Chains A and B, each alone.
Chain A
């Protein structure tokens, strides 16, 4: 069981805005940056958000991240069929390791 808790699934229709939550503790999210990854079926993960809310070059501004206290969220606006994927949050933990959330499977209806 992951220390970073994500809902196992989320869904939305094209054009909608969806959010995925990630809950941690003071030893990880509460005191360190949060990262978000997208993993399309059968492919390697891709970094979507770093340092809580920064997007790497090439990531559309439909994707945004936020953090408050010991929780973080990934928002996807203008949902598209190609956004159907698994999404993972991650953060450094004081146990001297990066922790990943359990992942959220996003379905575009």
Chain B
């Protein structure tokens, strides 16, 4: 059974760094793209970027390029999303998802993590 299990909720101060994780199981981690989606409070979905763990090929949305870093450790089947300096506007739920259906790296997320609530407040 495919599962994506995300790390728990986080409360941080502005300016702090953060790295959240998404542990995959039940499929070959290195042969599927995995990505991140942001959902700000009461708002819609935003595609942030994706990574192919097999060769670490990483693609970012222009809206998030330079704002976050996506990485993966294939030895433990885990993808990461990190910030070097959080802002209050980063407060959101962050979902990881596996790109498993459709047009490769442009395809659909067929499995999702449960979401990470990140709260940034002074």
Seen from chain A, the residues whose Cβ lies within 8 Å of a Cβ on chain B are 2, 32-33, 35, 37, 39, 44-47, 50-51, 54, 56, 86, 88, 90, 92, 95-103
Contact = CB atoms under 8 A, between A and B. Distances in A.
B103 interface: yes
Interface stretch (B13-21, B73-81, B83-91, B104-112): B104-112
B95 to A, nearest CB: 6
B106 A92 contact: yes
Interface string B86-101: 0000000001010001
A47 B63 CA distance: 23
15 contacts: A35-B107, A37-B108, A45-B37, A47-B101, A47-B108, A47-B110, A50-B102, A50-B107, A50-B110, A51-B101, A88-B44, A90-B108, A92-B103, A98-B61, A100-B44
Given A98-B47, A103-B45, A50 B95 contact: no
Interface residues of B, number: 24
Contact of B102 (A51, A88, A102): A51
A44 B45 contact: no
Contacts of A45: 37, 45, 95, 97, 109, 112
Interface of B: 37, 44-47, 59-63, 95, 97, 101-103, 106-110, 112-115
Contact of B95 (A32, A44, A56, A90): A44
A56 B44 contact: no
B47 A33 contact: no
Contacts of A100: 44-47
Given A88-B45, A92-B103, A98-B47, 10 more contacts: A33-B103, A37-B109, A46-B112, A50-B101, A90-B45, A99-B47, A100-B44, A100-B45, A103-B44, A103-B45
